[in-house]
Each structure stands twice: as structure tokens, then as C-alpha cells.
Amino acid sequence: MKRRFATRIGLVGLLTVVLAGGVARGQATVVEKDVPYVPTPENVIEEMLRLARPTSSDVVYDLGCGDGRIVIAAAKRYGARGLGVDIDPLRVREARENAEKAGVSGLVSFREEDLFQTDLRRATVVTLYLLPSVNLRLRPKLFDELSPGARVVSHNYHMGDWPPERTINIGNHLVYFWTITGREKDRFGSASQKGPSPAPRTGWEIEPES
């Protein structure tokens, strides 16, 4: 069954079934998103990357990459390789153009894909700006596919009962940081019998760009 976030954020959800791609050719392509597009501000990206400390040996994946700004920043500032995936083809096109403009096309790539289908095994850093419910659905996949030592950074949203190593406040924004460990793999991976915990609220909800 298709996942939706409309019940969580009301009208916002309706806005995320967008017409994309084929509109210019007279055909409407419906993109069903789990999360609306809202870019992470540059100062928050700085903090996310400061926590993750990517190097040129790292591979940074941004799941739901929007215009590609996080992987592009990691490539520009730290020389990290990166992959951004987004379900919206317009965003993917934008991200490729932005990488080109930033001169990092050789380090980063972008893929139109449902993030739940992305193979995460190459990632050493994963960045997220999703929703608590989406983070929780993603959590077993992170533990199944990432290697111990991989870092996960989430803008604004927690991971239920997986306690973050660091939480940073930047104005209205929160940044959570975790490292995957073998011990927690047993607890939170899909082999675990435990279902996801209910999501505590963080105090503010994602709003789409107008």
C-alpha cells in the first residue's frame, strides 16, 4: 500500500501530489511523496556536516535530496562523494544542474528513486530531512544495510527509541546525530521482533515551500 503523510500534516499532504515532468508535453505525471519539499537552510547543513565529519573517503547519501544541496555541500567542503535520491524528477534535474554549477558533478550523482528502494550498503553517512513516521519506517533498513560506524544525521526529526548521540539546536531547527553500532543492529534491524515506537512530537512540523 502507498504511504502518505497527509494525515499527519493535513492540507500540506495534498500539496505533495505534484504534477511534474510530463506536464510540458501535455501529460501529467503524478509523484506521490512521503514528505513535501522543504530545503534545509545552509546554516543547518553546516551543523549536519560538522557532526557527520565527512572526508574524501566517505560516501554521503541524502534520502529525499531535494535540490541536492546537502551532498553538494559535502562534496564542495569536504571532498566527499555522494548520492542523492528523490522521488520527484524535477528535484533530481535541479540537483544535477546545481552539482554542475558547483563543479562537483564528478563526485556526486542523483537518482530518481523511492528512498525505500535505495540500496544503502555503500553509504558511510546518511542525511535525512523527512518526518518522524518516515524515519521510523526507514530505521530497520538503515540497520540492515549500513555498516557499523556509518553516521546518520537527521534535520529536525528523531528516530523514536533509538537515542541520538548528539542533538543540536539551531534556532527553530534540531539536528540529531547517530552512529550505527553492531549492538543496536540486533535491536533495531528488521530481524528484531520489536515494532517501531510511537513518535514523540518535536514541536514543529514541516511546511512546504509556497
Ligand X SMILES: C[S@@+](CC[C@H](N)C(=O)[O-])C[C@H]1O[C@@H](n2cnc3c(N)ncnc32)[C@H](O)[C@@H]1O
Q: Does 69 help bind ligand X (rule: CB under 6 A)?
A: yes
Which of 46, 114, 161, 205 touches ligand X by CB under 6 A? 114
Which of 70, 92, 107, 126 touches ligand X by CB under 6 A? 70
Question: What residues between 84 and 103 interact with ligand X by CB under 6 A?
Answer: 85-88, 91
CA-to-CA distance for 6 and 34, rounded, in angstroms? Answer: 8
Count of positions on this chain that bind ligand X (CB under 6 A): 23
134-147 b/e with 16+ CB inside 10 Å = b? bbbebbbbbbebbe
DSSP type of residue 98:
H
Rounded to a whole number of angstroms, the CA Rg of the chain reads 16
Piece of the chain touching ligand X by CB under 6 A; list 22-30, 32-40, 135-143, 181-189:
32-40
Piece of the chain touching ligand X by CB under 6 A; list 33-41, 53-61, 164-172, 196-204:
33-41
Phi then psi dihedrals of residue 117, to 5 deg: -100, -5
Selection from 45, 44, 112 nearest residue 74 by Cα: 45
Q: Does 175 help bind ligand X (rule: CB under 6 A)?
A: no
Phi then psi dihedrals of residue 73, to 5 deg: -65, -40
CB of 27 to ligand X, least distance (A): 20
Q: Catalog residues that contact ligand X under the rule CB under 6 A.
A: 33-35, 37-40, 62, 64-66, 69-70, 85-88, 91, 114-115, 129, 155, 206
